[in-house]
Amino acid sequence: MGVPHPLVAYAAPYPFSFDLATTALVLIDMQRDFLEPGGFGASLGNDVDELRRTIAPLRAVLDACRAAGMTVVHTREGHLPDLSDCPPSKLLRGSPSLRIGDPGPKGRILVRGEEGHDIIEELYPAAGETVIDKPGKGAFYATGLGDLLAARGIRRLVVTGVTTEVCVHTTVREANDRGYECLVLSDCVGSYFPEFQRAGLEMISAQGGIFGWTAESAAFLRALATAATVSPDSAETAARPAS
């Protein structure tokens, strides 16, 4: 079986080509504490509706990628219960009453195993999907993501999740430096701050696609709908970026 015809999503700054076998969907930190009313994010005074509008389009993308047999990776930001993986610079940041590890509305803030740290019901990982627990903003730092993607021959990432200017941006920048091509779905990423959402997306596709591409999920879904089958051969023959 040969390499399949690439799928093309209409994107900025120009169309994004991909195929099913070498492209992964990445859902960044769609966790209760960032998205749910009464969670950590809301307790800081943030408007979680700015993030919650991503759930429905992202659910449609997740369903389509699952149906197409694509690799799906979920990430969660959080720390070990003893906080040994949380650098002091991160621990000490912010209001003293709302530090990582403190009791929050949905358990200890950003601690693995707590209710607030888990992924929201609507986008819960299916059996067999990878969940990457990450101590930093980027999904590559101090995780096994690079090795996992290399082992599967993944070269392109369709990036979704929250927040646009923090963990999505950091992950896209990390991925870019490692040789991955990233398509960020504009209606499937969210920020508490509308101005950061707009500027964050523009920064990705500016300067000829300095960090990658952006597109609405509808454009990606249209491209995906033209795909017939996954070709395992294309994963084997693909050049692999460094992890």
Q: From residue 38, how far is each of 46, 60, 115, 127, 195 by CA, in Å?
A: 10, 25, 12, 28, 24
**Residue 182 among the catalytic residues:** no
Q: Which is nearer to ligand TIU, 35 or 221 (CB)?
A: 35
Scan for tokens 């490692």, then name that residue.
Answer: 178
Catalytic residue among 19, 29, 33, 133: 29
Query: What mask of x and - would describe binding to ligand TIU in positions 196 to 215, judged by CB under 6 A?
Result: --------------------
What DSSP state is assigned to residue 88? H
Closest CB to ligand TIU among 123 and 166? 166
Q: Both tokens of residue 183?
A: 């398509």
Token look-up 């991160």 returns 90
Site string for ligand TIU, 29-68 (x = CB under 6 A): x----x----------------------------------
Least distance in Å: CB of 189 to ligand TIU? 10
Query: Tokens at residue 192, please?
Result: 């508490």
DSSP summary character for residue 184: E
Residue 221, number of CB atoms within 10 A of its CB: 18
User: 15-31 burial by CB neighbour count: b if 16+ within 10 A, else e?
Assistant: ebbbbbbbbbbbbbbbb
Per the annotation, the verdict on 167 as an active-site residue is yes
Q: Binding to ligand TIU by residue 77, rule CB under 6 A?
A: yes
Q: Does residue number 24 form part of the binding site for ligand TIU (CB under 6 A)?
A: no
Q: Is 172 in the site for ligand TIU (CB under 6 A)?
A: no
Task: State the catalytic residues.
Answer: 29, 134, 167
- Chain contacts with ligand TIU (rule: CB under 6 A): 29, 34, 77, 162-163, 166-167
